[in-house]
Every structure is written in C-alpha cells, then in structure tokens.
Structure 1
Amino acid sequence: MVYTIKDVAKQARVSTATVSRILNNQPGYSEKTKAKVLQVIEELGYEPNAVARGLVKKRTHTIGVLFPSVSSLFSGKLLSGIESVTHAKESSVIVCHTQESGSKTMKYLHLLNEKRIDGLIFTSEVLKDEYYDYIQKMDIPLVLLATESPEFQVPYVKVSDYQASYSATRYLIEKGHTKIGMLSGSSLDMIAGIPRIEGFKQALQEHDLLSANAENIFGGEDFGYEEGKKNFTLLRKQFPDMTALFCASDHLAMGAMSAAVEMGMKIPEDLSIIGYDNLPIAEMAIPPLTTVEQPLEEMGKKAAAGLFHMLESGDKMKAEIMPHQIIERKTVKHL
C-alpha cells in the first residue's frame, strides 16, 4: 500500500501542514510532535522523496557532484568511477554542470543543500572562498577530484600535473627531440594550466633546452579540440623547426593533428605528438595517439570511496596522488 501525507497526519493526529513543516525542517511544532511524526513516517514507510528518509535515518543516500563540463569524455570517465562506488553503497548521484560559472556553482550548492545531500565531490576547477564557506555551512564531507586547494585543507584525489607533464616532455627528449613545442591550457589556470607548463619547462631546463624552446608554449582558453586546431597553426608559424609537440590534453592533441594533416604533414614522420589524459579518442585516432594516462575512472572511485569513508567513520580521508604513465602508440618518432 502506498501511503500519503494525509495518512501520516491522521495516524500521528496532527494536521498535514504540520507534517509538511516537519518534512521541510520548518518551525512551528514541538520536539515531541516531530518525534511522533517521524516515528509514523518510519512505521508506514512513507517516503515522498529523499528528504523524508533523510529526516528519519539522518541520511538521504544522495551525493552531489559538481562538474565544470558534463559533455567531455574526461568528465564521463570520472563520473563512471563515482557512480560505480555510489551504486554499490545503494546511493544516488546528483550531477551539476557549473560551466565554471560562479553564479551557477552557488545556485547548485543551494539546490544541493535543499536536497540535503550526504556529501559533495567537487571536480576540476578552483575551490573559491565563497564555495568553501557555503559548503562549510552545509556541514557535509567534501572531496576534491582532479583538482586541489592550496588555501583550504580539503582532501583530494588527482594526478600530479607537474610530474605528468615533466614525464611527457622527457619522453620526447629521450626519443631524440630537442625542438619541442607545447599547446597548453590557460597560463592563469592554477589547477592544470600552470603545473603542466612548469613541468614542461623543467624537463627542458634539465637538458639545457629551455632557452631554445621557452617561447614555444602556446596557451589557449581551454583544453578543447578547436583550441588545439587553431593554436597549432599559430604555433607552427612561430616555431617552424618544431619536430615534436606536447599537448596538455588529448582534445588539444586531436585538434593539432587535424591541423597538421590539413597542412600536408604526416604524423609522426613530420611531427611527433604526445597528448594528456588517455581518453578513448586517443586510441581511436589515426594514427593512435601516444599520451599520458590519468586513471580517471579509478580516480572517481577513490574520491567516492573516500567520501563514503568519511560519512561512515567520521574520519577525514587522506589526499591521494594517483600514478600516471605514458601510453605508447604511434604518434611519436624516434629520431
């Protein structure tokens, strides 16, 4: 039998308005009345939504995830890992697409607070003061995924972008390349832009190549395909002797490969390219793209598992740097 709010009110001997106020955590009733209504809700199994169950059991079995982009393969792999753990914990995920907009992020945080989520995973962008302050007021566990905060002591799960970029550049150097360009994200991006640029520079500097290549970093507005295609054309004019290119995402690499082919270049005969992320498109590219792998699905699993650990134990999870590796395919030539 499916019970209604009227059934709850009748058995608890209160008005439906009182039941509604209790369910929505509004004032206007005694603690004794609240305890009676919650007891009836549990006895009847009345669950109009997750809020009612949360009031009874102190959990809504729902977590929130904030993504700056939900259309990318990058976000899809992270979400796959998050959902696998969440499903095993008999919980659900509310996914919010912020588009890196402060107003949208705050709007979604208010919404998630109204939904009384148990915890939050915040991905890929900067944890601003206003976000952190509001999440603190929500009083829920928070885990950062594919990002970190130098300002706030929040647990995170990510790859070291600096080390991964360093590894990719050193790989090209070990293949005999000395004229190496880079397509990066924004040079103002503290999360993935600056660390990847600095890792690239460090590898060049250790091999006395920095002075010859320092000006051959072309930063874009984002890590997308169109940026890669456009900026490769500009970088090629600036650096015509380039024999190898490190791209700070697989999407940038795919754009660069497309532009190179349109110029009549062959990959890797005329230009070697290495990407970053190891998204499914890297393996499907022609030729298949050599790239730095971030274990995105495993990162999503680690973040979700850490969040549930905090919910269940009350302990804070430890930050975790995940391993990266070079996935060798067909786009880098040994000189």
Structure 2
Amino acid sequence: MKPTIRDVAKMAGVSISTVSRVMNAPETVVESKRLKVLDAIEELKYQPNSFARGLIYRKSFTLGLLIPDIENMYYAGMIRGMQDACIKLGYSLMICNTDRDPERLLSYIDAFHEKQVDGIVFASDMLFPEYYDKLVGCRIPFVMVSSHSDEYDIPSVEVDDEAAAYDAVKFLIELGHKQIGMLGFNDVNSIAGPPRIEGFARALKEFGLEHNLEKVKYASHRFEHAYEASHELFSEYPDTTAVFCVADEFAMGAISYLKDRNVLVPGQVSVVGFDNVRMAGMFIPKLTTIAQPIYELGYRSAEQLHELVTTGSVKVTREKMKHRLIVRESTRER
C-alpha cells in the first residue's frame, strides 16, 4: 500500500499541515522539523498524488494542446518537443485534435477549463474573436505556436514564413528555373498560407519573373488534394520546370503526380517542400525543403507557456525561430 501524507506525519512526529508546509513552503518550517519530514519522505518513498499536489500548489501541473490535424506529420515533431519540455518542467500534456471545427475547438476549451489545466498551447490556427473571448473568459493562460495574432497581444513562437518561402523560390531561380509554379493552402483562414504566397511573389518580382505569379494552385492540407492541385497546375502550365510547395506533404503529392505521368524529378521538374518532416529524408527522391525547427517550436512553446503561467508574462512576446534550406535530391540545376 502506498504511503500517505498521514504516514509521513506520524513517522516524523508532526502534524499533517506541517508536512504540507514542508512541501509547499519549506522556509516556514523550523529546520529540525523540516529535516524530520524530509527524512520520513525519503524513508517511506512518499510521492503526493496529482490531486493532493494540486491542492497544495493550486495547480493541476497539466498543459493543454489544441492542434488542427493530429494525422499531419508536422505535428508529431511538435508534440514530441512539447512532451519533452513538459517532462522537464513537471507537467502532463493533454492533446485535443480540433479538425479546424469551431464548435469542437470551443468545447475542448471548456473541457480544459473543467480539468483545470494551467495553460494552453494553440497551434497552427487563426485566433478568432470567439476563441479569444472563450479563453479569456475561462482565465486560461495561452500561447500560440506556428501561428500568431495581429489583433491580440498573445505570446507566440513561429518561423518567418514570408522569408522562408522567399529563400525557397530564390534557390529555384538560382538553379536556373524560369517557369516556376506553387502549391499553396486553400484555407482562407490559414495563418501560414498568405505570407508564403508573399515570399513566392517577392522572389519572382526581384528576379523579373512576374509571369509566374499566376501559376499558383491551392489545396487543402492533405497529400491527395496536393496531387489533384498538381494535375491542375501542370495541365494549365505544362512548361513548368519547378514547383514550390507550402508543405512537405504537398511536395510528396506533386512528385507522386509527376511520377505517375513519367515526368522525372528532378530530371525534368524540381520540387521544393516546406517543414522538413521526418519523412522528407525517407521519401524518394529525398526532399529539398525549408526546415522549420519543429521539435524546438514545440519545446519552446511549452517553455513560453510555463513562463507565462508562473510569472504572468513572457520576455519575448513574438518569438521568431530560424529556418534553413536543406538541399537533397528533388532539385537540380536547369
């Protein structure tokens, strides 16, 4: 049978409240009693259960994560980073998949409130007023990862999507490509979609390739939709020799479409992805891609939320992490 706080108090010869104060505010207990309690805790191998711990510290030691698509490869690395940070910081992690459904997301916020989570990480989605009002109304601290809010002053951690897209397209141009297309997100509420379009356009304009600005096709966030968008792109613009994709899953869809039509990648068409998910280095051909520090984004968002929960603020409200271009097999000189 597991030892209880009552057992610790009995062995140390003190009251239960003294044991609680040793765990909660040890400086308020005289040294002789404090040492007796600590010796008893050590001898009995006592560990307060999470409920008791929550009563003592008035915290649940649990963080919540709201993600839009748990099947998306991108979120595996993010979750791993958050989980590792939570272990280090002493939290458990609750994950809820929203499918970008407003009613479901709001119901999850209510569930988090009921479970008394200490804070929430809001991932890769737009912060609509009803979401903000619900979170503020529940008095739950929250931060955003792979997203941000222009309307509200909410802590966030992400990469510079516009600059990253610019670097990807500039790389294709420097390889000698002049007929360049793009596969973008068709979700009007996408946070990352518009700045990646802007980066694509900035690179084209800078190098006098504005004729490519119309060569953009849109897809939802899945492989099969990118496959269909690739069909639209190459049917309408068959002279395209390079494609910038806003996600690695889109790049895989584009390459699969081209393979099915006996178009060589990178022999005839070069493809650049975005994210550097684990599969990017396993796919054939291995993907040239913009690497987000996915694990670090998750880890840092948990750290940032811990900072907000414990101090009431964060040192850096809008934190930008560095991206980098990884050149593999899916691109070559024109």
Unaligned 5+ segments in structure 2 are 7-16, 25-36, 38-45
Per-residue deviation, 1:89: 1.4
Q: Which residue of 1 aligns with 2:276?
A: 278
Structure 2: which amino acid aligns with 1:215?
A: E
Q: Write the distance in 2 (CA, Å) between the matches of 1:293 and 1:314.
A: 32
| Cα deviations by residue, 1:14-36 (Å, 9 ceiling, x for unpaired) | xxxxxxxxxxxxxxxxxxxxx9x
Per-residue deviation, 1:187: 6.0
Matched, 1:213 2:212: yes
Q: Is the 8 A contact 1:184 1:223 kept in 2?
A: no
Q: Is the 8 A contact 2:113 2:140 kept in 1?
A: no
Q: TM-score, normalised by structure 2?
A: 0.84
Q: Which residue of 1 aligns with 2:331?
A: 332
Residue pairs, 1:53-72, within 5 angstroms = 53-72=53-72
Per-residue deviation, 1:57: 1.3
Per-residue deviation, 1:313: 2.5
Q: CA, structure 1 residues 294+119, in 2 after alignment: closer, same or farther (shift >3 Å)? A: same
Q: Write the distance in 2 (CA, Å) between the matches of 1:314 and 1:124.
A: 23
Aligned residue for 1:200, secondary structure, equals helix
2:285 is aligned, of 284, 287, 299, to: 287
Instruction: Determine what percentage of the aligned residue pairs are the same residue.
Output: 34
Matched, 1:95 2:95: yes
Residue pairs, 1:18-167, within 5 angstroms = 50-167=50-167
Q: Which residue of 2 aligns with 1:30?
A: none
Q: Write the distance in 2 (CA, Å) between the matches of 1:106 and 1:325.
A: 35
Q: Write the distance in 2 (CA, Å) between the matches of 1:190 and 1:231.
A: 17
1:237 is aligned, of 235, 252, 259, to: 235
Q: Which residue of 2 aligns with 1:23?
A: none
Q: Write the distance in 1 (CA, Å) between the matches of 2:47 and 2:238.
A: 70
Structure 1: which amino acid aligns with 2:205?
A: Q
Aligned residue for 1:65, secondary structure, equals strand
Per-residue deviation, 1:260: 0.2
Structure 2: which amino acid aligns with 1:282?
A: A
Q: Which residue of 2 aligns with 1:176?
A: 176
Q: CA RMSD for the aligned pairs?
A: 2.2
Aligned residue for 1:282, secondary structure, equals helix
1:265 is aligned, of 236, 240, 263, to: 263
Q: Write the distance in 1 (CA, Å) between the matches of 2:127 and 2:50.
A: 27
Q: Write the distance in 2 (CA, Å) between the matches of 1:55 and 1:203.
A: 56
Q: Write the distance in 2 (CA, Å) between the matches of 1:195 and 1:302.
A: 22
Per-residue deviation, 1:321: 0.7
Q: CA, structure 1 residues 199+242, in 2 after alignment: closer, same or farther (shift >3 Å)? A: same
Aligned residue for 1:306, secondary structure, equals helix
Aligned residue for 1:268, secondary structure, equals coil
- Which piece of structure 1 moves more, 90-99 or 185-194? 185-194
Q: Is the 8 A contact 1:66 1:97 kept in 2?
A: yes
Per-residue deviation, 1:70: 1.1
Q: Write the distance in 1 (CA, Å) between the matches of 2:65 and 2:54.
A: 19
Aligned residue for 1:219, secondary structure, equals strand
Q: Write the distance in 2 (CA, Å) between the matches of 1:273 and 1:292.
A: 11
Q: Write the distance in 1 (CA, Å) between the matches of 2:225 and 2:194.
A: 17
| Cα deviations by residue, 1:149-207 (Å, 9 ceiling, x for unpaired) | 11110010001111111110111011111100001111623401111111101110111
Q: CA, structure 1 residues 191+78, in 2 after alignment: closer, same or farther (shift >3 Å)? A: same
Q: Write the distance in 1 (CA, Å) between the matches of 2:251 and 2:149.
A: 28
Unaligned 5+ segments in structure 1 are 8-34
Q: Write the distance in 2 (CA, Å) between the matches of 1:163 and 1:46.
A: 49
Q: CA, structure 1 residues 187+171, in 2 after alignment: closer, same or farther (shift >3 Å)? A: farther
Structure 2: which amino acid aligns with 1:154?
A: I
Q: Write the distance in 2 (CA, Å) between the matches of 1:299 and 1:153.
A: 19
| Cα deviations by residue, 1:294-321 (Å, 9 ceiling, x for unpaired) | 0000111111111112222333241211
Q: Which residue of 2 aligns with 1:315?
A: 313
Q: CA, structure 1 residues 287+317, in 2 after alignment: closer, same or farther (shift >3 Å)? A: same
Aligned residue for 1:59, secondary structure, equals coil
| Cα deviations by residue, 1:95-131 (Å, 9 ceiling, x for unpaired) | 0111101110011100000111111100000111111
2:223 is aligned, of 211, 222, 225, to: 225
Q: CA, structure 1 residues 171+187, in 2 after alignment: closer, same or farther (shift >3 Å)? A: farther
Q: TM-score, normalised by structure 1?
A: 0.84
Q: Write the distance in 1 (CA, Å) between the matches of 2:136 and 2:147.
A: 18
Structure 2: which amino acid aligns with 1:280?
A: R
